[in-house]
Amino acid sequence: MDEMDRPREACGVVGLYTWPEAGVDVARSAFFALYALQHRGQESAGIAASDGRTARVHRGMGLVSQVFNEENLSPLQGHLAIGHTRYSTTGASALQNAQPYLIDTLHGPLGLGHNGNLTNATALRQQLLERGVGLMSSSDSEVLTQLLASPPPGPPSRGPDWERRIQAMMARAEGAYSVVILTRDAVYAARDPVGLRPLCVGLLRDDTGQGLGYVVASESCALLTIGAKYLREVHPGEIVRLDRDGLHSVPGAPPRARSASCIFEYVYFARPDSLLDDQNVHAARQRLGAQLAREAPADADLVISVPDSSTPAAIGYARESGIPYVEGLIKNRYIGRTFIQPSDRLRRAGVRLKYNALRANLEGKRVVLVDDSIVRGNTMGPLIRLVREGGRAAEVHVRVSSPPVRHPCFMGVDMSTHGELIAHRMDVEAIRAHVGADSLAYLSLEGMHAAVREGLQPDPEATCAAGHCDACFSGCYPVDVSHLLSAASPAKSRFERGGR
């Protein structure tokens, strides 16, 4: 059970190609890589592996550690594999939507794992059905799989021509996608032309530093977990092929003049030890907190965080403001996602199942409570009451290290309607009164971008200028979502009419 007020990401992906003679247990390596990506999705997990002749897959509902054991990992033999851990955005939370998908084709096995959300999934699905293609799930990822299984346009080729198939898929798919693809002889990875969802590549090494193969993953933390060296990000619009001859870059779809990777990765989604745009996420979050302190100072005695994701921002706020940072909320780290529902009494206890207030640090103090975001507004009020009642704090001043979330996301995050977003319905003062804070302030949109950009280094190999998608804050989307917006909000609000 996790009822915290956090947006949830779609999923995490990993792909490995190792030299056959290296003897790497790719399924086990994929398992531990997925374990490192567990924060990106907790509903289902799966791994597909191939020895170059046959492919096998195991998928299941639950956490990575719940889905896999020695018995179901051991049949996943081979030297190439892909893996996936999922949180559903398109398609229900059900086994038929678990990934990776694995199908047989005329040219051997085809497996796919997808992170993101297609904005034209409904139209593509209809086109496939009209062609007589049967679909077993409601996921847009199966749509991508069937697009890859279809012959690419143009003259027929003797072989599978997977690169042309992937290029044809990228020409038709719109929205967000970072995908890993398993074929008989190679693992492919591709990223949408805007670069909305993250994807990076690394070199798998043994203890002596000898190369064993290559890895792609949603985040660099997965590479480090299995002993791989981070090399670089997969560029927007790029196809990467991992095979017997090494690592190859193939043009996939023309990248946009300016990329638009999701800025919420810096705010919350990515693990703090990961690299995004070749900069450390933890350091970026500290800069967000420091910028917040400059923009929204508070007359207080202590700075505390909502652990764990807000801790770097709280540290940055404390350093910049000169107010000491202390632990104020203790997280029960053994309460994760569970299928056991609490009783009505425990449900009413809310955040007390997950946090306890450290009264020895808080009693009688004026507290700055730093959080990374307020999305639906259903958790901050109970947290403030916990700090006041359990911690006996004198005042609670809330500071948020991102701007108000006022617009839905259609690119792989579970914020799909205006109505569920508290900042779309209320202004800042109304939210403050609703949650019961003594004061409330958010980081500005300009301040958020400045803090993230501060750590960026010019990349001479980049195919387009660096940029970020901030649509959930600004309402400015990098791809056409007009048909989705009309469904998300039948009546326009003052924010849509007049700005932020």
Catalytic residues: 11
- In total, the chain counts a number of residues equal to 500
State the Cα–Cα distance between residues 227 and 202, nearest whole angstrom. 10
**Closest residue by Cα to residue 353 from 326, 373, 368, 333:** 333
Which tokens belong to 252? 């996939």
Phi, psi of 290 (to 5 degrees): -65, -40
Could you tell me if residue 154 is left (phi over 0), alpha (psi between -120 and 50 degrees) or otherwise beta?
Answer: left
Which tokens belong to 368? 């700055």
Residues 6+ apart with CB under 8 A from 130: none
State the Cα–Cα distance between residues 469 and 313, nearest whole angstrom. 20
State the Cα–Cα distance between residues 265 and 176, nearest whole angstrom. 14
The answer to whether 274 touches 290, Cβ cutoff 8 Å, is: no
SS3 for the chain is CCCCCCCCECEEEEEEEECHHHCCCHHHHHHHHHHHCHHHCCCEEEEEEECCCCEEEEEEECCHHHHCCHHHHCCCCCCEEEEEEECCCCCCCCHHHCCCEEEEECCEEEEEEEEEEECCHHHHHHHHHHCCCCCCCCCHHHHHHHHHHCCCCCCCCCCCCHHHHHHHHHHHCCEEEEEEEECCCCEEEEECCCCCCCCEEEEEECCCCCEEEEEEECCHHHHHHCCEEEEEECCCCEEEEEECCEEEEEECCCCCCECCEECHHHHHHCCCCCEECCEEHHHHHHHHHHHHHHHCCCCCCEEEECCCCCHHHHHHHHHHHCCCECCCEEECCCCCCCCCCCCHHHHHHHHHHCEEECHHHHCCCEEEEEECCCCCCCCHHHHHHHHHHHCCCCEEEEEECCCCCCCCCCCCECCCCCCCCHHHHCCHHHHHHHHCCCEEEECCHHHHHHHHHCCCCCCCCCCCECCEECHHHHCCCCCCCHHHHHHHCCCCCHHHHHCC
